[in-house]
Amino acid sequence: MTEREDSLDGIIDILKEPAELRPGFTQRVMAEIERLPAHGNTAPDGSAPWWRRHWTVRMSPLRGLGLAAGMAALLLAALFTGWRAGGSSPAPSGPGGGQALQFILVAPEASAVALVGDFNDWSMSATPLERVEGGVWTVTVPLPPGRYRYSFVVNGSVWRNDPEASAMEDEFGRPNSVVTVGGA
């Protein structure tokens, strides 16, 4: 061992020895603690504030059951009416409580565009789009809540996904656009 290691061992031994406190040290510390202000743990009159007091609520089992049923009814009403915190209003409704969604495709070269999907049994004649200014095609479809796959069919033969929507593969490995109504 070097001289430095010997001196470190000596210092470590000293630090391991128990410290002796002056007589009355503990009593002086406790006296100072008792003189400190309470900092919000008591009311001005010395009693506990209302949120820290013990409360006893007495109620009959019938009233307890009624209170629980009322709270459950409020929760269910909030869930089923689409209530959201923050005051956001529900989207325009279609039949069955869904939404009227507008589908748009920009296809200036098209002479006809159809919307096909889960909601119309993939029929090319059920939901034709209307041509508006600048080669934009549009249709509004009322949909009940749910998740739907869809595509656009241009000129009766070219299938296109919606460039503004997410896509997922169908059971044949082809990508389809996806829209969810009434949920995230």
Q: Which residues contact 114 (CB under 8 A, 6 or more apart)?
A: 124, 125, 126, 127, 128, 129, 152, 153, 156
Q: Are 144 and 181 in contact (CB under 8 A)?
A: yes
- H or E element: which one contains 29? helix 25-35
Cα-Cα-Cα-Cα dihedral of 60, 62, 66, 67, to 10°? 20
Model pLDDT, residue 84: 41
pLDDT, tens digit, for every residue of 56-96?
888 898 988 898 999 888 877 777 665 443 333 334 454 45
Fold of 95-181: Immunoglobulin-like (2.60.40)
pLDDT, tens digit, for every residue of 96-150?
556 888 999 999 999 999 999 989 999 999 999 999 988 899 999 998 998 899 9
> What are the domain boundaries of the chain?
3-35, 95-181
Residue with tokens 């508006």: 132
79 or 32, which is more confident: 32
3-state secondary structure of 70: helix
pLDDT, average across residues 157-172: 86
